[in-house]
Amino acid sequence: MEVEASQDTAGADERPEVTAPVVVPLLEPADGVPPVVATPAALAATIAAFAAGTGPVAVDAERASGYRYGQRTYLVQLRREDAGTALVDPIALPDLSALSEALVGVEWVLHAASQDLPGLAEQGLRPSRIFDTELAARLLGMERVGLAAVVADTLGLGLAKEHSAVDWSTRPLPAEWLRYAALDVEVLVEVRQVLAERLAVAGKAEWARQEFEAVRTAPPPAPRTEPWRRVSGLHGVRDARRLAVVRELYATRDRNARERDISPGRVLPDAAIVAAAQALPRTAGQLVALPAFAGKGTRRRAALWQAAIDRAVALPESELPPTRGPASDGPPPARVWADRDPAAARRLAAARSVVTGLSEQHAVPVENLLQPDLLRRLCWSPPDPADAAGIAAALAAGGARAWQVELLAERLAASLAAS
């Protein structure tokens, strides 16, 4: 029996439909939005409830980045089985150490813990151990590791993030913001359970444990040397006198921002600092004529900014900053290695190939497998001898975790020897 060609063609062109995974919006906390804990009595009741709770505790923190000076925490959210959800105001209750003591030995579940732990520590909240759902997602090779994406992937729930960048220093906090804050910890423990199972199946549970502990015990970052050199657009300022203007305006802005508790970028944008340094205005009138100073706030404080410019202009040559930044104790930028040390450039290319290959093999991002700065240091100045033991010691001294050392040391030693 013959079949018509048109029917044959139609059948060949048919493709199975690909359906997107169903994501159910998570709109309301199961127990409703709790009242904000803002009195000693309410805090005492919260501490008792969470001490009597069971299992891990989900923890999150909200800051006012871009609105206030520094990275202070303005709301702490917690949820634990048999305790429910608590929204704690750390402005009204700055000492939360008693809550931390009630949770000693309990695992804290956070997303991107390195962002929240420094601010939580200021309130006396220090975990005994943690599970970082963002870091777990990275180790599992998930393409998207934001909280909403991870919740959707693991639980099929849609978590709205429209209030993530609001000014959390606002008081009283709007009801919609509090609902958002409560939802951020609503299912975090359930997400942790799914990710922990995936890590175990992938043979990465121990890797994750070591990474979590490294985040939990990480020391505060060292203060930056000459932080004013990080002003955006500074590459357009080349001579020492104008660099002095940038330095003085940066310091003046920082003092003013700290006094007013406002984000420095809202007090005076980087673009305005660079524009003033390039123009070198001699009067406040000339300063506010610059387009970058058209804002009401910057114009209102024109005398303050002009005084900073005048101080920099009046500096003797001996007090001007060098045109180059302070020398780094690390290797030079990799782009100059081929000219300065061709052998080091070959070592770096070979080592990068090893790390990239392992990254693909184990589905772990390169930066989570080994910090690029540590790899550059290793290739610029290899240990002597550069055998597996020497490489392992150098990696450990540079902060690599045991699982990274075990995975990389022999392979990097072989690549360095071959190159």
pLDDT at 163: 83
Strand partners, 25: 158
User: Residues 244, 267: contact at Cβ < 8 Å?
Assistant: no
The full length of the chain comes to 419
Q: In the chain, where does the domain assigned CATH 3.30.420.10 lie?
A: 24-216
**pTM for the full predicted model:** 0.90
Q: Which two tokens stand for residue 151?
A: 């919740």
Q: Which two tokens stand for residue 198?
A: 């995936």
Three-state secondary structure of the chain = CCCCHHHHHHHHHCCCCCCCCCCEEECCCCCCCCCEECCHHHHHHHHHHHHHCEEEEEEEEEECCCCCCCCCEEEEEEEEECCEEEEECCCCCCCCHHHHHHCCCCEEEECCHHHHHHHHHHCCCCCCEEEEHHHHHHHCCCCCCCHHHHHHHHHCEEECCCCCCCCCCCCCCCHHHHHHHHHHHHCHHHHHHHHHHHHHHCCCHHHHHHHHHHHHCCCCCCCCCCHHHHCCCHHHCCCHHHHHHHHHHHHHHHHHHHHHCCCHHHHCCHHHHHHHHHHCCCCHHHHHCCHHHCCHHHHHCHHHHHHHHHHHHCCCHHHCCCCCCCCCCCCCCHHHHHHHCHHHHHHHHHHHHHHHHHHHHHCCCHHHHCCHHHHHHHHHCCCCCCCHHHHHHHHHHCCCCHHHHHHHHHHHHHHHHHC
pLDDT at 17: 58
pLDDT at 32: 96
Residue 92 has phi, psi (to 5 degrees) of: -75, -30
| pLDDT per residue as tens, the chain (419 positions) | 343 444 444 444 555 554 556 899 999 999 999 999 999 999 999 999 999 999 999 999 999 999 999 999 999 999 999 999 999 999 999 999 999 999 999 999 999 999 999 999 999 999 999 999 999 999 999 999 999 999 999 999 999 878 888 999 999 999 999 999 999 999 999 999 999 999 999 999 999 999 999 999 999 988 989 999 999 999 999 999 999 999 999 999 999 999 999 999 999 999 999 999 999 999 999 999 999 998 888 889 999 999 999 999 999 999 999 999 887 778 999 999 999 999 999 999 999 999 999 999 999 999 999 999 999 999 999 999 999 999 999 999 999 999 999 999 999 999 999 87
Q: Which of 41, 46, 95, 106 is nearest to 73 (CA)?
A: 95
For domain 227-319, is the CATH number 3.40.1390.10?
no
| Strand ranges of the sheet holding 36-37, from the earlier edge strand across to the other edge | 36-37, 84-88, 73-81, 54-63, 107-110, 129-132
pLDDT at 125: 98
User: Residues 413, 393: contact at Cβ < 8 Å?
Assistant: no
β-strands 129-132, 107-110: how paired? parallel
CATH classification for the domain delimited by 334-418, as one of 1.10.150.80, 3.40.640.10, 2.60.40.10, 3.40.50.300: 1.10.150.80
Q: In the chain, where does the domain assigned CATH 1.10.150.80 lie?
A: 227-319, 334-418
Q: Does a cis peptide bond (omega within 30 degrees of 0) precede residue 172?
A: yes
Fold of 24-216: Nucleotidyltransferase; domain 5 (3.30.420)
